[in-house]
Amino acid sequence: MINFNVPPFVETAMDYIQECVKNQKICGDGAYTKKCNAWIEERTGTRKALLTTSCTHATELAALLCDIKPGDEVIMPSFTFVSTADAFVLRGATPVFVDIRPDTMNIDENKIEAAITEKTKAIVPVHYAGVACEMDKIMEIAKKYNLYVIEDAAQGVMASYKGKALGTIGNFGAFSFHETKNYSMGEGGALLIRDEKDIEDAEILREKGTNRSKFFRGQIDKYTWVNHGSSYLPSDMNAAYLYSQLEIADKINEDRKASWNRYYENLSGLKEAGKIELPTVPEGCEHNAHMFYIKAKDLEERTALIAHLKANDILAVFHYIPLHTAPAGLKFGRFNGADEYTTKESERLARLPMYYGLKPEQVDYICDKVKEFYGA
């Protein structure tokens, strides 16, 4: 059986976790959390990175930092994970869904402006499959209307747009280190902060509304409750697990990209024959092989393809049910303009197995079975 995902694991994780346990230092913001934060800052160039308990929580922190309130509107794609919307719905805001581009499955930057009202507070681009949204255009719109930009870069660690790391372009970026992502700590994420002025507020919100981070740095002699907040710190054991992968992030990235490129080359005949579509990576986007998907003709063909692969011990899966069609999406949000591509394209998409350590022969076998399905 070829699984769809196998969570990344690196041997050194055992030593690092053991070290945490031996030193009896397993709470938040320990040595490994600091190493992970420093790694993210160095590799992405963001001003500040704070490890969190999830990408969902990092997005919640961003919503708090943007002071999102009941009645506010937040623009995002409908083709995304629930957390993108939930973080803002929790603050009483309305998610306003905008159609995607069929080539990248990312929010259509040319349909954003029509969705802006006097209530709009933020735009949340989601970098699907680690392929960047058209950030120049999005930042230009945000500037024109004075909106926050919060990048859902859950899938975008080690990916970039015109040389800038995903998650560092908007006011805030959110990474995920869930076990389905390229780098994992089981459950976890990070908030990336672009501007110096937001750092202290973020630290306070993340530390239960206290100025404890300042206290630990010796900047004040006792800490106290200074604002509302919550607890978004992961255990240092989880950070230790993650750090073992960050240390060899390039190796993991290259391994995934080799699988991605092998899929692409192997299946390009089917694409040329007009049987399937393959992912598009626009100029200036450096992706991270988070995902390899293909597009079938329609829902019926996709269902049959997934069944054919399953019968051959290959676990391929579809992805998001558009949020605007889900019960909570109907209740909390609205779709602006026509759903030209969101539903149609989401019904055609099938994700093939992709993980660190997937073998070339496995990729070839999967491609053979896809070709067999299409009679090629």
Ligand X SMILES: *Cc1c(COP(=O)(O)O)cnc(C)c1O
Binding stretches for ligand X (CB under 6 A): 54-56, 80-81, 83-84, 126, 152, 154-155, 176, 178, 189
In degrees and rounded to multiples of 5, residue 347 shows phi and psi of: -75, -15
Q: How far apart are CA 119 and CA 79, in angstroms?
A: 22
Q: Considering the complex, what minimum distance in angstroms separates the CB of residue 151 from ligand X? A: 10
- Comparing CB distances to ligand X, the nearer of 116 and 131 is 131
- Comparing CB distances to ligand X, the nearer of 56 and 253 is 56
Q: How far apart are CA 156 and CA 165, in angstroms?
A: 8
Could you tell me how many residues make up the chain?
376
- Comparing CB distances to ligand X, the nearer of 54 and 78 is 54
| Strand-strand pairing, 120-123 and 334-335 | unpaired
Q: Considering the complex, what minimum distance in angstroms separates the CB of residue 81 from ligand X? A: 4
Q: Considering the complex, what minimum distance in angstroms separates the CB of residue 368 from ligand X? A: 29
- Comparing CB distances to ligand X, the nearer of 215 and 318 is 318
Contacts of 239 (CB under 8 A, 6+ apart): 30, 32, 33, 35, 36, 51, 185, 188
| Strand-strand pairing, 148-152 and 172-176 | parallel
- Comparing CB distances to ligand X, the nearer of 130 and 210 is 130
Q: Is residue 245 within 8 Å of 40, Cβ to Cβ?
A: no
Q: How far apart are CA 12 and CA 246, in angstroms?
A: 11
Q: Considering the complex, what minimum distance in angstroms separates the CB of residue 232 from ligand X? A: 11
Q: Considering the complex, what minimum distance in angstroms separates the CB of residue 216 from ligand X? A: 25
- Comparing CB distances to ligand X, the nearer of 182 and 211 is 182
- Comparing CB distances to ligand X, the nearer of 81 and 161 is 81
Nearest to 109 by CA among 144, 159, 85: 144
Say how many CA atoms lie within 13 Å of 122 toward its Cβ: 34
Q: Considering the complex, what minimum distance in angstroms separates the CB of residue 292 from ligand X? A: 15
Q: How far apart are CA 272 and CA 193, in angstroms?
A: 43
**What is the end-to-end Cα distance of the chain in Å, rounded?**
23
DSSP string computed for 49-64 = EEEES-HHHHHHHHHH
Q: Considering the complex, what minimum distance in angstroms separates the CB of residue 320 from ligand X? A: 9
- Comparing CB distances to ligand X, the nearer of 76 and 202 is 76
Q: How far apart are CA 209 and CA 316, in angstroms?
A: 43
Nearest to 207 by CA among 350, 311, 220, 308: 220
Q: Is residue 329 within 8 Å of 323, Cβ to Cβ?
A: yes
Q: Considering the complex, what minimum distance in angstroms separates the CB of residue 78 from ligand X? A: 12
- Comparing CB distances to ligand X, the nearer of 83 and 211 is 83
Q: Considering the complex, what minimum distance in angstroms separates the CB of residue 136 from ligand X? A: 21
